[in-house]
Copies of this chain bind each other. A is one copy, B any other.
Amino acid sequence: VRSFVVIGQRATASPGFLLDDLPGTSGRIDLLLRCVRSALLVSHGVRRDTRVYLVLLGGPDAPKSIRVDGSIAEFLRPDERSMATRVQKALSAELAEGWTALRHGWAVARGGVEVVLADLGGARRFVLDEGGRDVRSISVPAEVAFFVGDHTGIADLTVGADAVSIGPRSVHADDAIAIVHNELDRRAT
């Protein structure tokens, strides 16, 4: 399983953001929604071997984490607005201990990176970082997790992860995920 963990330092863990102004009302959750698309969707299908986690560290209800599991995901649409609706539903759910399973492959938990780390088990951890080793030159096991985030703070949250770089330009998180997938897809054939 490939996992991508997207850290939103200011992304809201509360469902009260506006669909008509995502960037202005959600702590830039739009950026995280785009990562769900690039992590899970391909032409005419879902990557069944991939999971994506959104770690929401902003707003009064933080921290919360959302998991979308490609192996069971259904009705996943690529556009930001429908992704945002799904995230709002997840953030409105009543939470039990640990992960609360929702419909169609979504789940939500109270807690931040620590609950994601526990869920990842023994997966080898990498953190995307411009100063890291080239993704084209590293060895990647089948059980792997890539951490993606805004620059601030992610290092502290990912102790034990190896830094990996996807190239000389600093790109958006969703593009970085697409590039990592491409490198791993090439090896899988």
Q: Is the interface of A mostly helix, strand, loop or mixed?
A: helix
A residues 21-76 near B (Cβ < 8 Å) are 21-23, 30-31, 34, 37-38, 41-44
| Residue A189 interfacial (CB < 8 Å) | yes
Question: Quick one: which of B23, B43, B82, B178 contacts A77, CB cutoff 8 A?
Answer: B23
Asked if A42 contacts B80 (CB within 8 A), the reply is no
Binding site for B on A (CB under 8 A): 19-23, 30-31, 34, 37-38, 41-44, 77-82, 166-172, 174-175, 178-179, 181-182, 185-186, 188-189
Q: What B residues does A37 contact at CB under 8 A?
A: 172
CA distance A119 to B46 in the complex (A): 37
Q: What B residues does A171 contact at CB under 8 A?
A: 42-43, 178, 181-182
CA distance A168 to B42 in the complex (A): 12
When A and B form their complex, which 3 residue pairs have the shortest distance between CB atoms, in order from nearest?
Answer: A175-B178, A43-B170, A30-B79
Q: What B residues does A185 contact at CB under 8 A?
A: 167-169
